[in-house]
Chain A
Amino acid sequence: GDSVTQMEGPVTLSEEAFLTINCTYTATGYPSLFWYVQYPGEGLQLLLKATKADDKGSNKGFEATYRKETTSFHLEKGSVQVSDSAVYFCALISNQAGTALIFGKGTTLSVSS
């Protein structure tokens, strides 16, 4: 079935460092891809999305490009801030379960000043 694999954390960075969180997927057809962010004790917030190959989603300085040839959707940010500390989830919409999202296991990012 469809699945999402993302790099395990935690990822620990200093403020202003470059961030990459890897995400690859397995899916039939052409899924839509998402990055969600979860701050401590809260629900998930949509960070960015891409719906077709070569689309680039971007928001709050974060970017991810839908690469069909490598089945990847890596999250990047050029200069992280302490406020970016959170758990990041890569996800896709599964054709098998209607519109339900399939999530990766999440990557915890910790940024220190």
Chain B
Amino acid sequence: DGGITQSPKYLFRKEGQNVTLSCEQNLNHDAMYWYRQDPGQGLRLIYYSQIVNDFQKGDIAEGYSVSREKKESFPLTVTSAQKNPTAFYLCASSYTNQPQHFGDGTRLSIL
């Protein structure tokens, strides 16, 4: 079945550590996105990519980095510069100007 796979489902970060969240899609979508979800704040866009080897910052890109080396993959790194990383992270993908499909999310917590 086609879909979006995020891993791991739960992730813990130590102080000063970078962690990488995986997102893979087999829907042949051109565009991929990362959102952060905090209670009572809805979803906020971190980064998005409309084609391979290109990506743009969203509203809250500070402390995060991404890469898009393959069409199917859009990993997100939460760096030590992100001082409040505890959140639910959602990856999505879509064809251009079409609704986005979402993965099941990764919950990141601080040890």
The count of residues in chain B whose C-beta lies closer than 8 Å to any C-beta of chain A is 27
Find A105's partner among B33, B42, B48, B97 (CB 8 Å cutoff). B42
Is there contact, CB below 8 Å, between B97 and A93?
Answer: yes
Residue of B nearest to A1 (CB): B59
Find A45's partner among B33, B42, B97, B102 (CB 8 Å cutoff). B102
> Would you call B63 an interface residue if the criterion is a C-beta within 8 Å of the partner chain's C-beta atoms?
no
Residue of B nearest to A42 (CB): B104
Q: How far is the CA of A106 from the CA of B35 in the complex (A)?
A: 14
The count of residues in chain A whose C-beta lies closer than 8 Å to any C-beta of chain B is 22
Instruction: For the complex of A and B, list the 7 residue pairs with the smallest distance between their C-beta atoms, beginning with the closest.
Output: A43-B102, A105-B42, A44-B102, A103-B43, A103-B42, A43-B104, A46-B99
> Would you call B50 an interface residue if the criterion is a C-beta within 8 Å of the partner chain's C-beta atoms?
yes
Find B33's partner among A32, A41, A100 (CB 8 Å cutoff). A100
Shortest CB-to-CB span from A44 to chain B, Å, is 4
> Would you call B103 an interface residue if the criterion is a C-beta within 8 Å of the partner chain's C-beta atoms?
yes
Q: How far is the CA of A41 from the CA of B106 in the complex (A)?
A: 10
Residue of B nearest to A6 (CB): B42
Q: Sample 11 A-B pairs with CB under 8 A, ordered by A number.
A: A44-B102, A46-B99, A98-B56, A99-B31, A99-B48, A99-B94, A99-B96, A99-B100, A101-B45, A103-B35, A105-B40
Is there contact, CB below 8 Å, between B31 and A46?
Answer: no
> Would you call B58 an interface residue if the criterion is a C-beta within 8 Å of the partner chain's C-beta atoms?
yes
Is there contact, CB below 8 Å, between B31 and A98?
Answer: yes
> Would you call B41 an interface residue if the criterion is a C-beta within 8 Å of the partner chain's C-beta atoms?
yes
Q: How far is the CA of A81 from the CA of B38 in the complex (A)?
A: 27
Q: How far is the CA of A101 from the CA of B91 in the complex (A)?
A: 12
Q: How far is the CA of A100 from the CA of B34 in the complex (A)?
A: 10
Shortest CB-to-CB span from B53 to chain A, Å, is 16
A43-B102, A46-B101, A99-B96 are known; give 4 further A-B pairs, CB within 8 A.
Answer: A36-B102, A43-B105, A89-B43, A97-B56
Shortest CB-to-CB span from B61 to chain A, Å, is 12
> Would you call A73 an interface residue if the criterion is a C-beta within 8 Å of the partner chain's C-beta atoms?
no
Which residues of A are found within 8 Å of B105, using beta-carbon distances? 41-43
Within 8 A of B (CB), among A61-113: 89, 93, 97-106
